[in-house]
Amino acid sequence: MPKAKSGVVYLVGAGPGDLDLITHRGFTLLGKADVVVYDHLVNPKLLDFAPNARHLFAGKRSDSHTLEQPEINRLLVREAKAGHAVVRLKGGDPYIFGRGAEEAEALQRARIPFEVVPGVTAAIGASTYAGIPLTHRDRASQVTFVTGHTKEDGFEAADLPRRGTLVVYMGIKALPQITKKLVRIGWSPRTPAATVQWATTPRQRTVRGTLSTIATLASKVSAPAVTIIGDVVDLERRLRWFEKKPLFGQKIVVTRSREQSSELARKFEALGAEVAVFSTIRIRPVRVKPIKIQGYTHVAFTSRTAVEYFFPNLAGDARSLAGTKVCAVGDQTARALIERGIKPDFVAAEFTSRSLARELSEQGMKGAHVFHPGANLMNPEFQKVLAKSGAKVTDLILYRIDKVAPENVEAVDDADWITFASSQTVRNFMEAVGNRPIRAKIACIGPITAKTVRQYGLKVAVIPKKFTFDALIQAIAKSI
């Protein structure tokens, strides 16, 4: 995205909530943006994909506006005239009740180049994730989108069709009046209806009823929500899939560093969980001289992060490891090596650094010289165990693990699960939460971490038989 002299604005549909529903074009533009102007319905995790941009919150809820629409229009024009590439990130689709056309008109009047990137609109996302097809050969051959919130704050029903599927946006407050008007123009009170709140997210909630009952049944539902009316709603019982995911409705706190948490979080989210990243540590690289591996009999990697920092600092390429036995702790560490074209010679059966040292010692390590790259907080047991077997260990600190104060301590209050992958994160976590009560179940990746948790007087609900993140996730799913 070359920076134009006058700048350019991209009106991008972010989809209804699920991170994966943004288009590839929208995702690409985020990575190249100078400025992102976003609404409150946009998944905030999308901003992580615009790390070099300024993030400007525009608000835009039905009951309050951080910025009024004319202010947003002026903001887009001003940023573009400053020569910036601006992504205007809008929930759903920019042109489906998103006021994207008004913004495009303002840009056109100001002679600002713009592009519109469509998105998955709320009606499509809500119906699909709720298991309700908007059209069906036997039930509905037409679908109508209508807003329950207009400029005049009225709902005009007279011109609407009397059959097919009707999807009402922004109508949750006016739903009693809307349903009465539809019955008045000829819709049957027994027509199936459903209201879907926070569609496509782990907070999704679907309330089913009929045209005569849905307003009462959904009286406690708040925005964002859409209401779907028509015979297709009856298919929800058979076709629902999203709310049947094994971890749907579960809020899981991940206590790894922000740099390490994304892959684990995505795996939990794929099973329907809501994930809160509770970072108590930060990983920072340490500048070192180019690593020369000659003279070492073994290289021992006791974390995936060690692998990631080792190879950029290696003098030469992977061929430098020829003749040196490469050892790894755990599937994740082994996989990181394989991704770099290195098949480990030895992977510990138990996935701890102490276990790796013990299993190597059992093979006979007298006279061996082990190179051990890692963090500033290495487990001293690794060197002690190997030293007893007659091996020499040379540690090299490639990265530091620093303690940081988490920004979202309140995330633990309504969590269903808290996950721990190391004793250090347990200690940092407990220091951060202080006297805050812990009501969530606790899952630990292994017995050493679990022991630390118990030292704080807490119970451990899950320890997987295999000490990997995939096994941890499956163990949590099976326990529900």
Catalytic machinery residues: 39, 60, 170
Q: Which of 177, 172, 395, 400 is nearest to 302 (CA)?
A: 395
What distance in Å separates the CA atoms of residue 307 and residue 375, rounded to the nearest whole number?
11
What distance in Å separates the CA atoms of residue 402 and residue 257, rounded to the nearest whole number?
10
Query: Cα–Cα distances in Å, from 371 out to 115, 298, 409?
Result: 53, 6, 39
φ/ψ bin of 25: left (φ > 0), alpha (ψ from -120 to 50), beta (otherwise)? alpha
Query: Cα–Cα distances in Å, from 34 out to 25, 47, 185, 251?
Result: 16, 12, 50, 33
Q: N- to C-terminal Cα distance for the chain?
A: 46
List Cβ<8 Å contacts ≥24 apart for 371-374.
371/293, 371/296, 371/298, 371/299, 371/300, 371/324, 371/396, 372/299, 372/300, 372/302, 372/396, 373/291, 373/299, 373/301, 373/306, 373/309, 373/310, 373/398, 374/302, 374/303, 374/306, 374/398, 374/399
Alpha helices, H only, 202-339: 214-217, 236-239, 258-270, 304-310, 330-339
What distance in Å separates the CA atoms of residue 51 and residue 431, rounded to the nearest whole number?
29
Sequence-separated (6 or more) residues with CB below 8 Å from residue 131: 235, 236, 237, 238, 239, 240, 241, 242, 243
Q: 41: helix, coil or strand?
A: coil
Beta bridge partners of 281: 403
- For residue 104, the surrounding DSSP H or E stretch is helix 100-109
**DSSP line for 366-413:** TT-EEEEEEETT--HHHHHHHHHTT-EEEEEEEEEEEE---S-GGGGT
Q: Prior bond to 285 cis, omega within 30?
A: no
